[in-house]
Chain A
Amino acid sequence: MIGIWDILDVALFAAMIRMATPLVLAATGGVITERSGVINIGLEGMMMLGALFGVLTSYWTGCPWLGVIAAMVVGGLAAAIHALVVIRFNANHIVSGLGINFIALGLAPFLSEVIWGSRGHSDIVTGLPRWEIPLIKEIPVIGEILGPHSPTVFMILAIVIIANIVLFKTKWGLRITAVGEFAKAAATAGIPVQRTRYICVIISGILAGLAGVHMSLGHLSMFTWGMIGGRGFIALAVMISGNWRPYRVLAIGMVFGFADALQIRLQGLGVPVHFMQMIPFLVTIAVLAGVMGRSRPPADIGKNYEP
């Protein structure tokens, strides 16, 4: 018989942080774009592209750090397409985001087949190093939970803090919020609504790309089809439950990360895999049901603004 403490061990909490990372990164991107009024359900696809191009770059150059940069660039580019389609051509945000997801879903196995001769996965490439924090690693339990991790894990703290400062402590944040709340009012106050939105959408793509490369280079050192596995959508749930605020997104992201880690752990114990893979989604439904009505999206979200 396996006791509960065999499951709730240090490794599980370390995995929680690892699995929370892509959610928090993508959800923070979601917060930024949605606060400016643009919905981005293409996060999933942007994560996938980030994961793929990160591995590809590392495969070609042997340098995982270049892979990280490539992932962010590709994520940003995919977001730029989304931005162009919705801001310039006034398309529906959901339809455009869905399009991005489908492009990624088709492109990934295609490139994988062409380059590595398998649609399912890539070769193993040089992944990101594992870092530990000096002093803290000596502390029992906590030290083991907080390291060693991929550098991407440590980035989330900085990114969440920066996002929070920008959104709530600078004039840029005020402008972003204004654009997302009432685009016309922002425009009459002299704020370039469209430019603000372009920037925010592209930032969300960059963060999604980073989230994706964490999954590939920061985790498995390879790309597999299905490795994102709906995490882009769960990130949207994290964003909503986090009430479009970075710190809450970090906290909620950990809850979801825990569910994900638990799911992976239980898979090893003979419980049917498909059943276990439902856990993160069940948590999503439960959490969303709990916060609904209490979290309030930006008022002008999903509405296009024509000057």
Chain B
Amino acid sequence: MRQITKDFPGVRANDAVDFKVAQGEIHGLLGENGAGKSVLMGILYGLYQPTSGEIFIHGRAVAIRSPAEAIALKIGMVHQHFMLISNMTVAENIVLGFEPDGYFWNRKEIAQRVAQFAAEAKLPINPEETVGQLSVGAQQRVEILKVLYRQAQILILDEPTAVLTPQETEALFRAMRALRDQGKTIIFIAHKLKEVLSICDRITVLCRGKLVGTEDAGATDESKLAEMMVGTKVVPATRIGEATIGDRVLEVKDLTADGERGERALEGLSFELRAGEILGIAGVEGNGQTELVEVLTGLRRPTGGKVFLSEADLSGITPRTALDYGIRHIPEDKRKRGIIPGFSVKENLILGDHCRPPFKGRFSWLMERVIRRFADKRIEEFQIQTPSRDTPIDSLSGGNQQRLIVGRVYGHQKRPTLLIAAQPTCGLDVQATRYVRQKLIELSDQGAAVLLVSADLDEVMAISDRILVIHNGRLHEASKRPSRQELGLLMIGGREDE
């Protein structure tokens, strides 16, 4: 890709970028949120037309006007936000647009074909399952299979690991190495530098739409890359000094709940959370953490047990009451539950508070001036890169959407009493990750109770005061300063002393 420039109204997403990838390598693409990684790859995949610049594949100049043309050139892309149709089956999603010949659609035959293909690709999956019911990790696998099924030689993976557990990430990396050894070329976007260094052969860094440089993975390290990305050194966020633990805020007693398919997801959980405390819940995704978060935020009805918030019985409340009690939520599925895609930045920032003063005035009138001022303040405070507060949220980069969601939990005046943060930093660049973690710590210092649910062990270990591990709908307490090994074992259901 030579001298690629792309302008959107109000922003230059790519500025004369030269980007070269050699065949058969895994090439990392790094950059802060909004640096223009997704847009650059979108141009390569025919989703956007560059304002200027040219693309060459195997030395031949090509014009890629649509994803169909990119697919014909054997380019495949796994998007940052899943491009899956949730009420269709896995098999249907995989073969969509690339169906076998013949007019008729043979469900069984296609399911069989997909199952076989998935097994050969070492990414096993049940082809008959509806995609909407799958865990994010499994959906990710469907996306990769979709690309492979189209016989792509150049694979673009836009932040595929953001939503994966360590185990799933390992599995993905194994698959990626196998693909590279078959001669396929992979472009890999991620924010976790460790991951990028461990898997990539070469790494290119973008900063604010401009190319910073390309390095050999062997000749660089984390701090160098971070410096390239942001221009300064980044120190990790940690709690300075001891937490000041206060009264009990949340008490959960023998909580049980069913999952999406009616199976038992929570098998009687009990724990307490105190003011000023950050409680980390680690676990492999799909072990009940989603359901736990949903019950606590009023999105799912428990089947048994009790939830108390400072003595008030909150078992089976509605999300609205949860908000009234000061329970705030950073949802795991940010696209589905975190934002309303057609709404502007400003509107998304007041969601949940829109029905309360000062945003709601007399006769339920929305107080436009207050809202604007509030939005501008949050945009500045959380460094949300957006042309304006009225920009539709869809046109923000993924990481910037995420910043907005985090910014929103701060509410207008009232600080949250209980913050439930599910994967709060997934998809954030190093600096923003640090910023969000720092904010969580700050919040707890101000007396909020924080429940941190994350599959990222480093994150849980970095800022939690206490760690519980969830496995098969049950909680296990870890020791005071647990090692990675101990947590890893607990996560898969083992105990160190066994």
Contacts and interface: CB of A to CB of B under 8 A. Distances in A.
Contacts of A170: 103-105
B344 to A, nearest CB: 16
B153 to A, nearest CB: 16
Given A181-B85, A188-B47, A171 B99 contact: yes
Contact of A171 (B68, B103, B150): B103
Main secondary structure of the interface of B (DSSP, over half): loop
A294 to B, nearest CB: 15
Contacts of A192: 66, 68
Contacts of A177: 85, 88
Contacts of B68: 190-192
Nearest to B68: A190
A177 to B, nearest CB: 7
A161 interface: no
Interface stretch (B51-59, B76-84, B199-207, B348-356): B76-84
Contact of B105 (A171, A181, A187, A307): A171
A191 to B, nearest CB: 5
B97 interface: yes
A143 interface: no
A189 B96 contact: yes
A182 B83 contact: yes
Interface string B79-101: 10011111110001000111100
Given A169-B104, A169-B105, A181 B67 contact: no
A132 B388 CA distance: 68
A307 B105 CA distance: 28
A77 interface: no
Contacts of B88: 174, 177-178, 181
A186 B104 contact: no
Contacts of B99: 171, 174
B71 interface: yes
Given A178-B88, A181-B88, A188 B79 contact: yes
Contacts of A173: 105
B99 to A, nearest CB: 4
A90 to B, nearest CB: 14
Interface residues of A, number: 22
B96 A191 contact: yes
B103 A190 contact: no
B146 interface: yes
B105 A190 contact: no
A264 to B, nearest CB: 40
Interface in A153-178: 168-171, 173-175, 177-178
Nearest to B79: A188
Main secondary structure of the interface of A (DSSP, over half): helix
A181 to B, nearest CB: 5
A189 B67 contact: yes
B45 interface: yes
Contacts of A182: 83-86
Contact of A190 (B79, B97, B104): B97
Interface string B3-24: 0000000000000000000000
Given A169-B104, A189-B146, A174 B96 contact: yes
Contacts of B86: 181-182
B97 A189 contact: yes
Contacts of B105: 168-171, 173-174
Interface string A278-307: 000000000000000000000100000001
Contact of B45 (A174, A184, A188): A188
Contacts of B146: 189
Interface residues of B, number: 25
Contacts of B67: 187-190
Contacts of A136: none
Contacts of B82: 185
B70 to A, nearest CB: 8
Contacts of A174: 88, 92, 96, 99, 105
A184 to B, nearest CB: 6
B83 A185 contact: yes
B66 A185 contact: no
B45 to A, nearest CB: 7
B20 to A, nearest CB: 24
B97 A191 contact: yes
Interface in B290-310: none
A173 B47 CA distance: 24
A189 B98 CA distance: 8
A192 B96 CA distance: 12
A177 B96 CA distance: 10
A186 B82 CA distance: 12
Interface string B125-163: 000000000000000000000100010000000000000
B96 A186 contact: yes
B29 to A, nearest CB: 18
A189 B83 contact: yes
A182 B97 CA distance: 13
Contacts of A171: 99, 103, 105
Name which of B71, B82, B84, B97 has the most chain A CB atoms within 10 A of its CB: B97
Interface string B416-450: 00000000000000000000000000000000000
Given A181-B87, A182-B83, A307-B66, A188 B104 contact: no
Nearest to A166: B103
Nearest to B45: A188
A67 B494 CA distance: 77
Nearest to A187: B67
Nearest to A192: B68
A186 B67 CA distance: 10
Contacts of A168: 105
Contacts of B71: 190
Given A185-B83, A192-B68, A178 B104 contact: no
Interface string A259-284: 00000000000000000000000000
A185 B104 contact: no
A178 B45 contact: no
A196 B99 CA distance: 16
A299 B84 CA distance: 12
Contact of B96 (A169, A178, A307): A178
A198 to B, nearest CB: 16
A174 B100 CA distance: 13
A181 B92 CA distance: 13
Nearest to B72: A190
Nearest to B48: A307
Name which of A177, A184, A185, A192 has the most chain B CB atoms within 10 A of its CB: A185
27 contacts: A169-B105, A170-B103, A171-B103, A174-B88, A174-B99, A174-B105, A175-B96, A178-B85, A178-B88, A181-B86, A181-B87, A184-B83, A185-B83, A186-B85, A186-B96, A187-B47, A187-B67, A188-B77, A188-B83, A189-B83, A189-B146, A190-B66, A190-B68, A190-B97, A191-B96, A192-B66, A307-B47
Given A186-B97, A189-B67, A191-B68, 13 more contacts: A171-B99, A174-B96, A181-B88, A182-B83, A186-B85, A186-B96, A188-B47, A190-B67, A190-B150, A191-B97, A192-B68, A299-B87, A307-B47
Q: Which 9 A-B pairs have CB atoms at the shortest separation, nearest pair first?
A: A189-B97, A185-B83, A171-B99, A190-B68, A190-B97, A190-B71, A191-B97, A188-B83, A189-B96
